Amino acid sequence: MNDIFVARNLCKSFGGVQALSGVDVVQRADETLGMIGPNGSGKTSFVNAVTGELSLDSGKVNFGDLDITGVRPHEVVTAGLARTFQAVRVFSSLSVRDNLRIARMLLGDAPHALDATDRAELLQWLKLDNRLDAMASGLTLFEQRRLELAMRLMMRPKMVMLDEPVGGLAPSEIREMMQILQELKARCAIFVIEHTMRVIRELADRVIVLITGQKIADGPPVEILKDQRVIEQYLGTPHA
């Protein structure tokens, strides 16, 4: 029912380590889905597997009407599912302008590509409009995160998977990024992996908890943060 993303029974192992075992994830087009879990619980493996970076042992992934199981990363992006990385990834030896130019190439002159006005609005929103000639390597981490986001939005994705979008940011920057992510909801569906519980609580409509590759809880943030299993196995103390 208006599901944009459906992953069924995903399994992935690395030798003897089971990174994902039978993970089911369903996301509606109008909701923001969060994923939490301790380090090594399989969150990034999940994103890597559904976006084609990792091959799955078994399971099925649908994005909209398309079966994207085993599809290569660039085809996943073409289908409208973009992602960011835990360690920010931009073309560091190129300028901000060139980073954006390369990202824009995917749609080229397609009718649904961003026009000049849309692009200017996007860059102004992400406060990159006065940094276009700067080298990406010379940007602060927060600017690089915004550039990473701008590059994805240049491709007009239907959904973005964000891997720890506030990781490494200062408290004031986290507040600003939270504002950006709240506004991002109006542009596309969001799937977000985070360790910072405040981000998940404020941003996500629903949260999935992953522990050692298994989904142990799925529900609204308020309920999840009170869930006894989640407190015992991950949070340690209640996050009311």
Partner 1 sequence: MKRFLATALQPRLLILLVVGIAMVLSVSGNRFFAFVVGITMISILWTAGMNLLTGYTGLVSLAYAGIAGISAYGTVGLTMRFGWSFWLAMPVAAVGGAVVGVLLGLPSLRLKGFYFALSSLVIQTVLSLGFVYFVNLTNGDTGVSQIPPPDIPFTGGSFHGVSFDLLVMFAAWLSVVAVWAITRSPFGSRLIAIREDEVLAEAIGIDVVRNKMLVFFVGSLIAGVGGALYAPYVGFISPRSFDLLASLSIWLMVTFGGRSTIMGPILGALVLAPVPFMLQQYDTLKDVIYGALIIAVIVLMPGGCYGTLLAWMQRSPTARRILPKRLGSAAE
Which 154-213 residues touch partner 1, going by CB under 8 A? 155
AA identity, residue 230? V
Please provide the size of the chain in residues.
Answer: 240
Q: Closest separation between CB of residue 132 and partner 1, Å?
A: 10
Nearest one of 155, 168, 179, 180 to 79, comparing CA atoms = 155
C-beta closer to partner 1: residue 150 or 211: 150
Residue 214 Cβ vs partner 1, minimum distance, rounded to whole Å: 27
Among 98, 173, 205, 218, which residue interacts with partner 1 (rule: CB under 8 A)?
Answer: 98
Q: Is 29 in contact with 2 (CB distance < 8 Å)?
A: yes
Beta carbon of residue 201, minimum distance to partner 1 (angstroms, whole number): 28
Does 85 help bind partner 1 (rule: CB under 8 A)? yes
Neighbours of 183 (CB within 10 A): 11
Strand locations in the chain (E): 3-14, 17-28, 32-36, 58-63, 66-67, 81-83, 159-163, 189-193, 206-211, 214-219
d(CA 237, CA 41): 19
Touching partner 1, residues 101-140 (CB under 8 A): 101-103, 105-106, 108, 133
- Tell me if 77 contacts partner 1 by CB under 8 A: yes
151 binds partner 1 (CB under 8 A): yes
Q: Which is nearer to partner 1, 91 or 125 (CB)?
A: 91
| Among positions 6, 26, 66, 94, the unique one binding partner 1 when judged by CB under 8 A | 94
Q: Which of residues 43-72 bind partner 1 (CB under 8 A)?
A: 51-53, 72
